[in-house]
Amino acid sequence: MNKKDNIGRLWKSHYISNIISDAAMDSVSIDAFTKKLYLAFRYILNIDRLAFAVFENGLIKAEFAHSASEEVYLKPPFAQHYLKSSLGKVGKEGKVRIINDLESYFLNHKYSGATELLLKEGMRSSLTFPLMFEDRCIGFLFLNSKEKNKFSSEISESLAFAEKLLSMAFHKIMLMDKTVINTIAGLTELSEKRDNETGLHMKRIAMYSKAICEDIILNGVYSGDINYAAAKEIFEQSPLHDIGKVGIQDNVLLKPGKLSPEEFNAMKEHSAIGYTVLNKINTANKLAGGFNFKTGEDIIRHHHEKWDGSGYPDGLKGENIPLSARIVAVADVFDALTSKRPYKEPFSIEKSLEIIEQSSGSHFDPKIVRAFLNAQDKIRCIHKDYAEINSFKEAMHAHSKWAEIIIKTVNGDKRQTDEAELLPTKCRVGVFLESVTPFIKSNELFTNLVSAHNDVHKIAEKLLTEMHDDSALLESYLNEFKTASIKLETILDSFSD
């Protein structure tokens, strides 16, 4: 290799580093960061696609993709457990992988759903860059081309030069994202404490909203207004919808019966109160160049607006109501209908679906109602998976089922494992234990129960958030998990007698 080639490679490596650094400085979301990288890399490396996948809860999940193709097929909610994906090995070794003939690769790896979708997009070669932070894989960056034999060792070396910078940039933005989520969780918890609502109510609202968004995107409804990034914001920020209730007086907020007209008018103030709180946070964030909670503002202020203009606080009508608020409105009312309240028993799912459908065009946006009804299989699963636990016996059965899913997933016996299957029980059993704590006299058995619950989930976190080879270490964690699960179930069973 001559001196001129070396200078050219060095220039390209430094240029790529500058692109990464500038994009990271200007971005407060993974979506914005990957889009900037795509536009720059498309110019300098002549690629046709750039995508990012996160490694979380044992799953490698497609997050954001930017492509020159007319349609992107490999996209959320596509996810695979790392033990069932060749990316598990890439993440464990921390080395760049190049596949310069995806068609030939697929012939020998028919199980690869991701490769099949890439071929459908017209991609013929691939470079996978594992993002490592503190010797742990946090995700993957993918570069793709419609040409075979596109990626040379030179491109790999140019990226490797910026390896730490790229990984640190992704880690920083992911950390910002988690800070946003933790902020939302803190504000939501404040609302829950005042309103006697549980984290499960907030989780159901988020999951129902997510199911609606997925159907809207799938069917191209409101295609100019909603994409995966917008759906992610709605999912994350929908639990904020009622934070304004912290400003409502107890005699109104906690009244067990029907509110009088005066009391109802006072209750309606929660939309404006919540909006004011979040708007102040937003204003400070804008000055600091931080994350914008605009979606949360829209949801909080407008989720009680109605399609026919008879809602509050602003009497907005039709598509003048922000789309995010129209989506959360359906999710919120459905959860209220199917939940027990001091003044009513829960309606059945069938009756609740019927009420939602009857309210199309008056209370709700007809297109949102159609998406909700299209997604009713998912809605029913969410209602079941995130149902309140009301006894120690129910808690024991819920944990047992969840532990079985974890074990099957880690053993590779379960071909498809949705993240929703892995997460609910920690939330459900944890919320139940929190709810009964004030009513149980302090005793050693209950202390052991709470401790056993925490232990199980710490071990589960090791299994689901770290990449392990099919080795003695993985087997050791799995045995530890089984032992801890049996201990928890035994204690729960003793309380259910």
The series of mean pLDDT values per 10 residues for the chain, 497 residues long, is 52 68 74 87 90 85 90 85 81 89 89 89 94 88 94 75 79 79 76 66 91 93 88 91 88 84 92 90 68 88 97 96 97 94 86 97 97 95 85 85 79 56 65 76 81 86 68 79 89 80
Angstrom CA distances, 379 to 185, 205, 208, 212, 386, stand at 23, 10, 6, 9, 11
pLDDT of amino acid 250: 85
Identify the helix (H) or strand (E) that includes residue 400: helix 392-411
Residues 376, 120, 418, CA angle at the centre, nearest 5°? 35
Which amino acid, one-letter code, is at 299? Answer: I
pLDDT of amino acid 415: 47
Contact by Cβ (8 Å): 234, 323: no
CATH number for region 3-171: 3.30.450.40
CA distance 365 to 319: 8
Instruction: Write down the architecture of domain 392-496 according to CATH.
Output: Up-down Bundle (1.20)
Cβ contacts of residue 273 below 8 Å, gap of 6+?
A: 244, 245, 246, 247, 248
Cβ contacts of residue 321 below 8 Å, gap of 6+?
A: 302, 305, 307, 311, 365
pLDDT of amino acid 323: 97
pLDDT of amino acid 81: 76
3-state secondary structure of 138: strand
Residues 404, 410, 412, CA angle at the centre, nearest 5°? 100
pLDDT of amino acid 363: 97
CA distance 139 to 133: 9
Which amino acid, one-letter code, is at 410? Answer: V
pLDDT of amino acid 99: 94
**Tokens at residue 268, please?**
């309606």
HSE-CB for 223 with a 13 A CA cutoff: 4
pLDDT of amino acid 441: 67
Per-residue burial over 49-65, b = 16 or more CB atoms within 10 Å of its CB, e = otherwise: bbbbbbbbbbbbbbbbb
**Tokens at residue 385, please?**
């998976």
Does the domain made of 196-385 have the CATH classification 3.40.640.10?
no
Beginning with the edge strand found earlier in the chain, give each strand of the sheet holding 59-67 in spatial order. Answer: 79-81, 59-67, 49-56, 136-145, 125-133, 97-99
Domain limits, the chain: 3-171, 196-385, 392-496
Contact by Cβ (8 Å): 404, 221: no
Contact by Cβ (8 Å): 318, 326: no
pLDDT of amino acid 113: 84
CA distance 64 to 69: 14
Residues 393, 450, 444, CA angle at the centre, nearest 5°? 95
Q: 3-state secondary structure string, 171-235?
A: HHHHHHHHHHHHHHHHHHHHHHHHHCCCHHHHHHHHHHHHHHHHHHHHCCCCCCCCCHHHHHHHH
Cβ burial, residue 292 (10 Å; 0-12/13-18/19+): middle
CA distance 314 to 167: 45
pTM: predicted TM-score of the whole model, two decimal places: 0.80
